[in-house]
Amino acid sequence: MNEPARDARHRVERSKARARYDRDSVHAILDAGMLAHVGFCQGAQPFVIPMLYARDGDTIVLHGSVASRLMRELGDGIPASLCVTLVDGLVLARSHFDHSVNYRSVVAFGRARVLADPVAKTAALARFVDALIPGRAAESRPADASELGATTVLVFEIEDASAKVRDGGAKENAADLALPYWAGVLPQRSVFDAPRPQPDLVAGVDLPDSVRNLLAREGATR
């Protein structure tokens, strides 16, 4: 995709070489994450809220309690912004100035609408569970009518989005290369520790395939 117009809200202004505007780059980062920071305005006051999400095509599905003020505000279709950031490592340079972080991020702009249809809501909640742990929805009980009634599902339509990726080593001035300091990258990733089963599982219930597969997936970064 081409670079957006000069005044476009999703245009990356700094470190343009790190910018990506194509759908595949944006989707890959959204699919690798699970936590979004969602922003909206009440008058001039911004709010930024952490929310779990699941991508569905060019939309991002969010959910929360029907009693949530924030869900109501967002569901009214006010302008919203959503950011997903994955940190891949610390970058150490010979100068303070050139220290950095390797990361992948997406900033998306759009509006949310309430998903009211119970069948679509049930499917969205199952998709949520599978977004957290692939295959898990089939291993647990779908939402019932009372749970659906207690949950607001929002569909955030991505209108504009950009991705930004920084990778590789330190970018340093030639003059700094002679300094007797260490420089390099500390790769960083998220791992799972041993599962802790609830103490009251039905006798004979083993660790399910979804969890086994997740733990077996090497180098998973969430």
In angstroms, the CA 103 to CA 108 distance is 16
Residues 170, 184: contact at Cβ < 8 Å? yes
Contact 82, 36 (CB under 8 A): yes
* Residue 128 is a binding residue for its own copies (CB under 8 A): yes
118 touching its own copies, by CB under 8 A:
no
Q: Confirm or reject binding of residue 97 to its own copies (CB under 8 A).
A: yes
Tokens of 9: 């809200």
Q: What distance in Å separates the CA atoms of residue 80 and residue 66, rounded to the nearest whole number?
A: 19
Pull the structure tokens for residue 43: 């008058």
| Contact status: 77 vs its own copies (CB under 8 A) | no
129 binds its own copies (CB under 8 A): yes
Q: Which is nearer to its own copies, 59 or 128 (CB)?
A: 128
Which one of residues 83, 113, 135, 157 is an interface residue with its own copies (CB under 8 A)?
83
Distance CA 166, CA 204 (A): 47
180-209 binders of its own copies (CB under 8 A): 180-202, 204-208
Piece of the chain touching its own copies by CB under 8 A; list 17-25, 53-61, 95-103, 112-120: 95-103
Judged by CB under 8 A, the chain residues 3 through 22 that form the site for its own copies are 9, 13-14
108 contacts 60 by C-beta, under 8 angstroms = yes
Per rule CB under 8 A, is residue 114 in the interface with its own copies?
no
